[in-house]
Amino acid sequence: MENASKALLIAGGVLIGILVVSVLVLAFNQMSEYQSSSSNLEKSNQLSQFNAQFVQYAKPNLKGTELITLLNRVVSYNRKEIGAGEIDYSQTITIKVSVHGFNEKYGNSGKTFLFGNNDNRTFTITTGNDELMQIINGQRDLESMYGLNALSMLTSNMESLKSYYNPQGSNDSERQRDKSTGRTIKQVIGKNLPELEQQFNAHNFSAIDRHGEYANFKTSKFRNIGEILYADNGQVTKMDFEFVE
């Protein structure tokens, strides 16, 4: 009888041990699944947040200023090579921008100072050295040099400035009469800009004409075309845009 009781106690202890081990194994598996699920969710959130800063611009009425912001973000990202988390900074993002129709709308005889005489141009942007970025950065430098307000005032008074610095007429009397109807840089913005005035005196108004076109570029509408491409890990890699109006 005593041996039977011991056997029962031993059997009960083994059973309890098995139950404890089973519970621990189950808890461990559930914890592992939870951690795996949590890790996958974190990776998914990282990719979603990363892609959102680019794909938010994939809309039918994208302003030129928004497009410029997107291009600057892409160039900034492409400069990086390493990073933390799920994002692979060695993966390049490419943006293509077609400006077909811009010259026709804002140029002279289908030609602009920004894009030349080719109205079917498509720019590919990955770095700050790409042509469209050089154009954008050049205009940013011009705005830093003279001030955006001054350039805007000069642009809106372009005809008056040309009358003063490049008077028309077949004789001196006619040219003097044309000049008298014009205005100087100082009269327009309240201060002298010697370098720009030197260009005007040489009948070179390209800096202001270019600024006027760039102002139109910033207020123009663009749209995303085609499918957005993604890398194997889910990162956005390519987007295409075209000029609308």
What does the radius of gyration of the chain's CA atoms come to, in whole angstroms? Answer: 33
Burial group, residue 96, by CB count within 10 angstroms (0-12, 13-18, 19+)? middle
Residue ranges of the chain whose pLDDT lies below 70: 1-42, 81-85
- 51 and 66: one domain? no
- 83 and 6: one domain? no
Q: Kindly state the helix (H) or strand (E) to which residue 225 belongs, with its residue range.
A: strand 221-230
Q: How high is the pLDDT of residue 45?
A: 85
- 64 and 48: one domain? no
Q: How high is the pLDDT of residue 35?
A: 45
- Quick: pLDDT tens for 155-189: 999 999 999 999 998 899 999 999 999 999 999 99
Q: How high is the pLDDT of residue 202?
A: 96
- 42 and 120: one domain? no
Length of the chain: 245
- 44 and 72: one domain? no
In the chain, the number of structural domains is 2
| Closest alpha carbon to 224 in 96, 48, 77 | 96
Residue that has been written with the tokens 């100087």 in this structure: 184
Return the DSSP state at 202: T
Range of the domain at 23: 1-55
- 69 and 42: one domain? no
- 23 and 112: one domain? no
Burial group, residue 204, by CB count within 10 angstroms (0-12, 13-18, 19+)? middle
Q: 105-112 long-range contacts, Cβ below 8 Å, gap at least 24? A: 105/216, 105/245, 106/213, 106/216, 107/213, 112/213
Q: How high is the pLDDT of residue 79?
A: 92
Beta-ladder partners of 97: 123, 241
- 51 and 71: one domain? no
Q: Where are the alpha helices (DSSP H) in the chain?
A: 2-55, 64-78, 102-106, 131-146, 148-156, 158-165, 172-180, 185-189, 194-201, 206-219
